[in-house]
Amino acid sequence: MIDGGEAIRKLALNVARYTGLAPLAKPFVGGIGAILMLHRVTATPEKPDGVNRHLNIAPGFLDALIADMRADGYAFVSLDEAIERIKAGGKGGQFATITADDAYRDNMTEALPVLEKHGAPITIYVAPGLIDGAADLWWDVVEDIVNARDRLTLVTPDGPVTIDCSTRGKKLQANNRLHSWLTLEVREEDLRAALHEFARMNGIRLDGQQPSTLMNWDEIRTMAAHPLVTIGAHTVNHVNLKRLSEADARREIGEVRRILQAKLGEEPRHLAYPYGYASAVGCREVGFARDAGYVSAVTTRHGVLRAEHSGFLLALPRISVNGRYQSLAHIRTMLSGVTTPLANAGKMVVTI
């Protein structure tokens, strides 16, 4: 199912593609490179028809995408080298660097063999709270709760509300309602407790263990030792920083460096803001990342890289490679740069 915003984005991509605008515009708006954003990479997702299926792409598509971009002249480089190329204004030709959020196990078992085939580096952003089971992949938990019942009860300030989960369409609506509740109505620091209490009230027991879809620390250490892999930080508990107090947000951004140093023997140089959109990261959070000593930080805001990003290394855009756009034609159009101003109110460089 595609929502209205999704339909508009795909329409824009198809218009740019079929009118021939994208390849014509690329020399003018294509920028100097791109940061690709992945989450899951697996040929066998546990819930192929689940509401979070858009977070996944197939390994075969990743293979085809890297080959296609290489054929188009992109050099695949580490994030450290990408930062140096941005500082140099893109000298040396177009480049791309691959990033992946959350440390899913399939990044190691299914994505890494593809990356090794092409010699393509990757940066994996780790949130220790997710790995230790102290924080939840709450969007997956919500889906599991909705799938477990035909009817749920949500307690609101106006009294109990019944949520119908009896059909596939109703389950999608239920997921959307619960997402809004957790991200808009519940305080960020109370999100986990509220989710677990909601599950308990509806007769569903959550074990609080680390999700099986994520790597454990031994696996992350193995990945960290791989020559193609850089480990970055994703805050301690994968939180919406903008919804936290200054003290708590600074702690999430700074303490993760110390935790990863203790776990992996090396302090991370790069940060990914959880969620990464405008209501999750702004000037305040960029300042906190600067104060914490990061070399770079990435958002989820859409866009190609330009030389001007040398002045905004702690607020870099990415191109999301996800299940919604599992098409080489769509990614080529995004890389052309024509969709960057469409996603950013006419701006080629978003400065937060």
Q: Give 10-residue mean pLDDT values along the chain (352 residues).
A: 48 70 76 97 96 96 98 98 97 96 98 98 98 96 97 96 97 98 97 97 86 96 98 98 98 98 98 97 98 98 96 97 93 92 85 80
Cα 96 to Cα 76: distance, rounded to the nearest angstrom: 5
Q: Both 116 and 239 in a single domain?
A: yes
Query: In terms of domains, do 126 and 237 share one?
Result: yes
Same domain, 155 and 289: no
- Residues 244, 149: one domain? no
Sorted by sequence, the CB contacts under 8 Å of residue 75 that are 6+ apart come out as 92, 93, 94, 95, 96
Coil, helix or strand at residue 281 = coil
The last residue of one of the domains, among 154, 170, 202, is 202
Whether residue 337 lies inside any domain: the answer is no
- 339 occurs within a structural domain: no
Is 84 within a domain?
Answer: yes
Q: Is the Cβ–Cβ distance between 317 and 278 less than 8 Å?
A: no
**Owner of token pair 């890494």:** 112
Boundary of a domain, candidates 202, 225, 246:
202
Is 12 a member of any domain? Answer: no
Cα within 13 Å of Cα(259), Cβ side: 20
Backbone dihedral angles phi then psi of residue 279, each to the nearest 5 degrees:
-85, 5
CA angle 114, 115, 119 (to 5 degrees): 125
Q: Give residue 165's pLDDT.
A: 98
Residue 219 CB contacts under 8 Å (≥ 6 apart), including other chains: 105, 108
Same domain, 88 and 146: no
Cβ atoms of 69 and 130 closer than 8 Å? no
Q: Are residues 148 and 297 in the same domain?
A: no
- 128 with 142, same domain? no
Residues 196 and 233 in one domain: no
CATH of the domain at 297: 3.20.20.370
Domain membership of residue 229 (yes or no) is yes
Residue 319 and residue 184 in one domain: no
pLDDT for position 6: 55
Count of domains observed in the chain? 2
**Shared domain check, 184 and 300:** no
**Domain carrying residue 184:** 138-202
Does residue 157 sit in the same domain as residue 94? no
Q: Please check whether residue 287 lies inside any domain of the structure.
A: yes
For residues 314 and 172, membership in a common domain is answered with no
pLDDT of residue 25: 75
In a domain, 349, yes or no: no
Whether 41 is covered by a domain: the verdict is yes
- Amino acid 11: pLDDT: 65
